[in-house]
Each structure stands twice: as structure tokens, then as C-alpha cells.
Chains A and B, each alone.
Chain A
Amino acid sequence: MKQYAIKRILTSVTIMWAVATIVFVAMRVVPSDPAIVVLGDHASEQALRAFREEMGLDRPLLEQYLEFITRLARGDLGRSMITNQPIAAQIWSLFPYTLNLAIGSMLIGAFLGIPLGVWAAIRKNTAIDYVSRVVALAGFSFPAFYLGVVLLLIFSIKLGWFPILHQVRTGTLFEHIYKLTLPALSLGLIQASYVTRLTRSSMLEALNEDWVRTAFAKGVRPRDVYFKHVLKNIMIPVVTAIGLYTGTILGGAILTETVINRPGLGKLLLGAIAQRDYNLIQSGLVVFAFIVVVVNLVVDLTYSLFDPRVKYE
């Protein structure tokens, strides 16, 4: 286990390094000159030169790259090209919003999706199964940002239950949760449909196994077979899928934060793209990818908690 964990962590580190390198290269082949973008077409040659010098853009690429990587390793993300503020502080201050959104959506996805999937599988080919499959397929096809629009139209504009703007700088825990509801629902309901589909198909597969038949034959109560035996066995693919879904949730957060007008990393990154703040874009992309890598690592290493049969090589 220890050896596996070390190997797995090392792989993750190389992936992070590769991600950082790819993002760095991508930002350097952008056709426009950052100095001109930031200072404008009419900036004097002197000003442009001063800006490039200050940002280190005049130095050889290899030197810039090495500095970028060593800084990154220390957790220093550099400064914004537009505001000159440290990027790490900016990301850190917005991180909780996106994190809450991601956790909220995942909880909704898991607590709706798993029971629904189990239910549909047990009642296979009945009306319940059919309805849940149609709903799951529809949810799976609903673009998250459009679901955000629909929820906003119904609950904020029509019913007035939730605010239209979701600026949540301060407030009690209750207020935070209240304002999290719509954005978390718009991502979470869609995740729930993924989880339902996956739980249903894993459950159906497991129900075909011999040990399930044995359990029924020896008179275990059906409820115990479903929830104690089978559910435990299908937790691995389901938990893995929920983990792997982090990337999609983070991607969805970019859109949802825009629709619901909620602060967060996605909005920060979009703002940076709109302003062509290359340093911020670069760091934002790297941070997004790092989060996904770390979550996948954690999911991988926690397999054994759900399934004692998993032996790491």
C-alpha cells in the first residue's frame, strides 16, 4: 500500500509538472504580445520595454520557464499583469466559493443519485425504472448552465425565493447555504443523473452475480441484500465516478458562476481571459488542473476504505 501510494503520488507530481509546462508553452505561443495587450496600441516603445522587463518577458524562454516552475513549486503564482496583485492571494480568497459549490453539487449528486439508481435497479422494467431512466437521460443531456438559467427563472424571478445576484462576501452559515442552493442544484441535479445511471447499471450487473442469488437463497432479507451486500460492492465504481466528475463540476462551475453571478475561480479565470491577463490565465488553468489531479489521487488512494479486497501492488 505504502509503495503504491508513493508511486501514485509521484505520477501525480509528473502530471502536474506536465500540465504546468503545457500551459506555460500555450501562453507563450498566443499570437498577441501581452505588453501591447495590457498597455494598449498607443503605448510608447519605452513603456512596452519597461513592462516586458518588469514581467520578465524579455528574458530567454528557458529562464522564464525555470522561474515559473520553481515559483510554482513554492506556491508562488506570480502577480496579475493588470492589477499587479499577488495571484495566489486572489485565488485563495475565491477558492472557498468554488469549493463549496463543488461540494454542494457532489452531495446533491450522491444523495439523490445513489438511492434513485438502487431503486430503479431493484424495480427494473417497472414504471419507476422507466421514469427514472428518462429523467436521468434528460438530466444527463441538460447543459448545466441552462439548468441554472431555468432555476433562476423559476425560483428567483417567478417565485422570488432566491436572490438574482449571489454576491456572498459576508453573512451567516445559513445565508451561505441559502445562496449556494441554486448554483449547487444546477450542477448537482446533473451529477445526480450521471450517478443514477451508473448506480443502476452497476447494481444490475451485481444482481446477476452468484453470491446475490446465494444470499437470497439462504433467506437474507431483500433490503439487506440490496443495501448491505450489493450497494457495498458497487461503491467503488460509483465513488470513482463521483471523483472523476470533479473536473466536469469545476468546468461547469465556470459557467454556473457566470449564469448565477456568483464569485469564484471560474469567474476569476473568465475575467482574466477577457482582460488578457496572461499571468492570471496561466496560474488559473494550472490551479484548476492541480485540483483535479489531487482529487483523482485521493479517490484512488481511498479505494481500500470502500473495498478491503483491493490490494495495491
Chain B
Amino acid sequence: MSTLVGDVWTVLKQDKTALIGFFIILGLVATALFAPYISPYGYSEQHIAHAFKGPSPLFWLGTDEFGRDLLTRMIWGSRPALLVGVLSVMVSVSIGVPIGLMAGYKLGVLDRIISWFVDVALSFPSILLGLMIVILLGPGVLNVAFAIGISHVPQYVRLARGPTMSVRNLDFVRASKALGATDARIAFSHILPNIIGPIIIMGTLSIAGAIRMEASLSFLGFGVNPPTPSWGNLIRDGVDNILQSPWMALFPGLALTFSVLAFNMVGDSLRDMFDPRIMMGKEKMG
């Protein structure tokens, strides 16, 4: 694993896009951690006299219909975004990868059943799957994280299954089988390290997707409940008041877009690093 961290850092150093993304993510994490200390106001603190104000020295990014400071609410909104982003990927990885490993390693009937379920699940647009699960569980940060995590499980099953199928017949796997290793041990100690690269790339890109989905669900009113700020419900408030104060939708959307962009930038660069075909292409094409 330590070489992996080293590899990642090497890529970051060489690739400017990745580096920019990495620093945006660092900033985002810091913002979420230190939200109470860096917010100019309380997130539900109302200044009715200043409702619907544009950006000013007093309220840098303006205020909403209750005179709440938009910058403060955006700072707090980074918390559900990151929390849902990271938690949901943990949910999808911890459910999807073992299932994919099992399907790809065991093959046969089990594999066919699992693949069929994956096909079924992938025929739902993931936002619908997420919506359906949120309807069942009710709104709230944890439920949203779980719903998004579950809705991405099929993609991880597919991701883990393919490489497992190609690794399972290699000599080192056969050798450890001959030495009497259990299936679980082979899957987790021998096969998993070989397919970890694609999982990390997908994980980084899924955090981006999850942040976007959290915002989408909150925008539709099925995510984080107001008055707790989330970028999605801030944009919703903004759309509802778009004629009075356009910045209410504009600024939280920028925060959302840059955060998603940052994770995509890092994920993209990691993919270039791990995908040997693209790497070869780079050398060949110069």
C-alpha cells in the first residue's frame, strides 16, 4: 500500500491538473472541518433587515430571504457534501467489491445470478434508484449517503468482477490455492491488491458523482433537510427566488461544481497513471 501512496504522490507532482484538484480538495476538507471557526455568522442566524442583499462588505456573497449569510451557509454546506461523498463510496466499495470478487472468482451459476442483478440495477437511472431508496428510508444525511452508496453498488460489482476473472487463472493464484489457501483469503489477499488501482480511480470519481447526487437529491427536497444548509437545497432556495436574487443560486452552484471538478481532475489523472494502454499511447504518440 505504501508504494501506492508514493505512486499517487508522484502523479500529483507531475500532473498539474491533478495537483490543482488535490489542493481544491484539501481546501474543501479544511473548510468542512473548520466551518464553525471560519464562518462569519451562524448558519441559521437571521438578519431580516438585510434580506435578499447582494454581495457587500458585511455579507460577502449576499443574503437569502431571511437575511442569512450565504457564505456562511455555503461553508456549512461543504459538510454534508463531503460526508455523503466519502460515506457513500465506502458503502458501495464495501458491498460491491466483495460481491464482484465472489462472482468473478467463483463464476458459474452464482456469477450469472449476480450479473443479472447488476444488469437489472443498471437499467435504473442511478438518481431514480437513489430517489427510491430515499423514499423508503426518509431524508437525512446518513440515509442519503446510504442511498447513493447502494445505487452505485452495481458499478463496483462490475468493476471488481472483470479483473478478477482475468487474474483468477494466473499462476500465483493457482499456487496459493495448491498451498491450501481458502477462497476468501485468495480473494482478499491475492486478487484484491491486483485490482485495487481501478477501484481507487472509480472511488475518486464516485465521490464526485456522490457529491453531485447529494446536491441533486437535496435540490429536489429529498436530501438534507432545511434549515441545515446543503449546496443542493441552497440552489433550490436560489431557484425559488431567482428573480429577486440570482446570486443565491449562482454561488452555491459554483462551490458544488468546483468540488465535483476537483475530484474528477484527480480521478482522471489517476486513471491515466493506472491505465497502461493510455500510458503506452502517450509514449508512442509523444
Chain A residues in the interface with B (C-beta under 8 A): 11, 14-15, 18-19, 22-23, 26, 29-31, 124-125, 137-138, 140-143, 145-146, 149-150, 152-153, 157, 164, 201, 204-205, 207-208, 247-248, 250-252, 254-255, 258-259, 270, 273-274, 281, 285, 288-289, 292-293, 296
Contacts and interface: CB of A to CB of B under 8 A. Distances in A.
A35 B280 CA distance: 62
B120 A288 contact: no
Nearest to A137: B264
Contact of B135 (A30, A142, A152): A30
A141 B25 CA distance: 14
B120 A22 contact: yes
A97 to B, nearest CB: 17
Interface of B: 17, 116-117, 119-120, 122-128, 131-132, 135-136, 208, 212, 215-216, 219-222, 235, 238-239, 242-243, 246, 249-250, 253, 256-257, 260-261, 264-265, 268, 277-278, 280-281, 284-286
A157 B235 contact: no
Contact of A250 (B125, B215, B261, B264): B125
Contacts of B116: 14-15, 18
A254 B285 contact: no
21 contacts: A19-B120, A26-B132, A138-B257, A141-B212, A141-B264, A143-B215, A143-B216, A143-B256, A145-B235, A146-B253, A149-B235, A149-B249, A157-B243, A205-B277, A247-B124, A250-B128, A255-B127, A255-B216, A273-B222, A288-B125, A288-B128
A153 B120 contact: no
Contacts, number: 128
A137 B261 contact: yes
Contacts of A285: 124, 128, 132
Given A141-B261, A201-B278, A285-B128, A153 B242 contact: yes
Shortest beta-carbon contacts, A-B, top 10 = A251-B125, A251-B127, A141-B261, A247-B125, A146-B253, A141-B260, A18-B120, A293-B123, A149-B249, A143-B212
Given A29-B136, A143-B253, A254-B220, A149 B212 contact: no
B120 A149 contact: no
A146 B252 CA distance: 10
Contacts of B124: 19, 247, 285, 288-289, 292
A254 B268 contact: no
Nearest to B280: A208
Contact of A270 (B122, B220, B242, B243): B220
Given A142-B257, A255-B216, A258-B220, 8 more contacts: A30-B135, A141-B261, A145-B235, A153-B250, A204-B281, A250-B125, A251-B126, A255-B220
Contacts of B235: 145-146, 149
Nearest to B212: A143
Nearest to A154: B246
A289 B123 contact: yes
Contact of B256 (A26, A146, A208, A281): A146
B82 to A, nearest CB: 16
B123 A30 contact: no
A252 B243 CA distance: 24
B242 A143 contact: no
Most chain B C-beta atoms within 10 Å of own C-beta, residue among A141, A208, A251:
A141
Contacts of B122: 247
Contacts of B250: 149-150, 153
A306 to B, nearest CB: 22
Given A137-B261, A138-B261, A288-B124, A145 B285 contact: no
